[in-house]
Amino acid sequence: MDKNIYLAQFYGKSQNYTQIPREWYSKYGVKRGLRNEDHTGVLVGLTRIADVVGYQRNAEGTKIDCDGILYYRGIDIRDLVKKEKYNGYLYEQACFLLLFGYLPTREELNAFCKVLQDSYDLPDDFLEMNLLRLPGRNLMNKLQHSLITLYNYDPDPDNTDVYQTLRKGLNIMSKLPSIAVYAYMSKVHYYNRKSLVIHYPRKDYSTAENILSMLRLDGSFTAKEAQLLDLLLFLHADHGGGTNSTFTNVVVSSTDTDIYSSMASSIGALKGPRHGGANVKVSLMMENIIDAVGLKATDGQIKDVIEKILHRQFKNHSGLVYGFGHAVYTLSDPRAEIMRHYCGMLAKEKGMEDIFDFYNRFEKIAVKTLSEEKGANMCSNVDYYSGFAYNMLGIPRDLYTPLFVISRIVGWLAHNIEHKLYDNRIVRPAAKYVGDLMDYIPMEDR
């Protein structure tokens, strides 16, 4: 018999022995997904890096939904965006703040950027051996592979001393933009038969400027484009210690493993479509919806599509309206609010106002429909407008989630270091055995 049929049979039979009824989770007080009864997260750590505020508690301790606020080291991200005259390097400034706990002076920021810039270049044969010779179909997997490979270029890779972790982390951060862009170039060269274009990173460019210049055929970009990408990197830089990919980093690094392994694990977590990979799903979903109903669709038609998505009757069958809902935020995600504002401005310039208006209308209708259907407030999240923004910048879909990595790596690093410094216990929760005890039956008696 075909071995796959055997496997299917074993799998079917196993259901008699392995099932765990859903109600047992509450019977034994298990916090599924590390969530409390009211869906708030179980407290697993202390942090001074970022605070994600999505609800408040009244005097009785009941959760009350509110507009979202995100603080980087106690500073509201909206203030970081608005209150300073824009001089570029907003992302790098946030990296400094998240890592060192205070806002840098101009001199300190320049010195920090110099540290990053001095590590922009990849090791000598890295591009040829790892990216051009070994193209990857999925850039997130390719990023994981590249980080694991960078281990071999480090003369002391298993050194997990805190200061060494900082140095190694910054080195990885500096190199990620070229790794991601070259991995994309290699992919489209080999799989899509496009010409291979390699521009080297420039030391006088910020992270955002380098990404644009390495991606564009002629290396050119406008100041406004670089500003939007810088803002997007800034907005994705950290989201507190409970975020799945950040917690993953802490879980993995709490074993004292090397930084390359913990960063690769976080990339694996971020790839998932319920986490950072949602930015690609949103972009595909919106493209399918616009194809199906057109930009001039009535509100009723849009609502109809949303209902179909929820009931698994439209294209992707996950039942999820990607870009909506959040584990912490309820009424609004401040990052989506900021993005909406800046996307609206760029859409005007790029002649893409009609698509932006559609996104806007869809957002309002989705928020209302989801709240009605699910009985809870659900807002648009950071992944809703980001793909639209990248698209306006001419950035290909393949790079949407890798850009999240390029930005969030600083958050992973900051939390990795904070855990090493102050908590430093191996993460090891418990799981209750709920199976039966069985006697061993010799093979001939089964």
Ligand X SMILES: O=C([O-])CC(=O)C(=O)O
Binding site residues, ligand ACO, CB under 6 A: 33, 39, 274-276, 278, 310, 319-327, 370, 374, 378, 381-383
Tell me the backbone φ, ψ of residue 55, rounded to 5 degrees. -160, 165
Nearer to ligand ACO, 31 or 374 (CB): 374
324 binds, among ligand X, ligand ACO, none (CB under 5 to 8 A by kind): ligand ACO
**Residues belonging to the active site:** 326, 383
Least distance from ligand ACO to the Cβ atom of residue 429, Å:
18
Residue, CB closest to ligand ACO? 325
Nearer to ligand ACO, 113 or 233 (CB): 233
Least distance from ligand X to the Cβ atom of residue 291, Å:
28
Nearer to ligand ACO, 101 or 319 (CB): 319
- Going residue by residue from 324 to 343, which x/- string records binding to ligand X, judged by CB under 6 A? ---x----------------
Least distance from ligand ACO to the Cβ atom of residue 386, Å:
9
Site for ligand X in 243-272 (CB under 6 A): 243
Residue type, 71: Y
Least distance from ligand X to the Cβ atom of residue 446, Å:
46
The one among 382, 395, 413, 414 contacting ligand X by CB under 6 A: 382
How far, in Å, are 136, 153, 181, 367, 404 from residue 139 at the CA level?
Answer: 6, 21, 9, 31, 12
66 binds, among ligand X, ligand ACO, none (CB under 5 to 8 A by kind): none
Nearer to ligand ACO, 319 or 396 (CB): 319
Nearer to ligand ACO, 215 or 367 (CB): 367
- Going residue by residue from 164 to 203, which x/- string records binding to ligand X, judged by CB under 6 A? ----------------------------------------
374 binds, among ligand ACO, ligand X, none (CB under 5 to 8 A by kind): ligand ACO
* Tokens, residue 207: 């992270």
Nearer to ligand X, 142 or 239 (CB): 239
Nearer to ligand X, 285 or 382 (CB): 382
Least distance from ligand ACO to the Cβ atom of residue 444, Å:
46
Least distance from ligand ACO to the Cβ atom of residue 252, Å:
18
Separation between Cα atoms, residue 430 and residue 61, nearest integer Å: 27
Separation between Cα atoms, residue 408 and residue 335, nearest integer Å: 14
Tell me the residue length of the chain. Answer: 446
Q: Which residue has the tokens 């070259």?
A: 182
Least distance from ligand X to the Cβ atom of residue 417, Å:
18
The one among 142, 145, 175, 239 contacting ligand X by CB under 6 A: 239
Starting at the earlier edge strand, list the strands of the sheet with 50-57.
50-57, 63-72, 75-76
- Going residue by residue from 290 to 309, which x/- string records binding to ligand X, judged by CB under 6 A? --------------------
Counting residues that bind ligand X (by CB under 6 A) gives 5
Least distance from ligand X to the Cβ atom of residue 415, Å:
12
Nearer to ligand ACO, 55 or 89 (CB): 55
Query: In three state form, how does the secondary structure of the chain look?
Result: CCHHHHHHHHHHHHHHHHCCCCHHHHHCCCCHHHECCCCCECCCCCCCCEEEEEEEECCCCCEEEEEEEEEECCEEHHHHHHCCCCCCCHHHHHHHHHHHCCCCCHHHHHHHHHHHHCCCCCCCCHHHHHHHCCCCCCHHHHHHHHHHHHHHHCCCCCCCCHHHHHHHHHHHHHHHHHHHHHHHHHHHHHHHCCCCCCCCCCCCCCHHHHHHHHHCCCCCCCHHHHHHHHHHHHHCCCCCCCCHHHHHHHHHHCCCCCHHHHHHHHHHHHHCCCCCCHHHHHHHHHHHHHHHHCCCCCHHHHHHHHHHHHCCCCCCCCCCCCCECCCCCCCCCHHHHHHHHHHHHHHHHHCCHHHHHHHHHHHHHHHHHHHHHHCCCCCECHHHHHHHHHHHCCCCHHHHHHHHHHHHHHHHHHHHHHHHHHHCCCCCCCCCCCCCCCCCCCHHHC
The answer to whether residue 98 forms part of the interface with ligand X (CB under 6 A) is: no
Separation between Cα atoms, residue 299 and residue 304, nearest integer Å: 9
**Which residues form the interface with ligand X (CB under 6 A)?**
239, 243, 327, 381-382
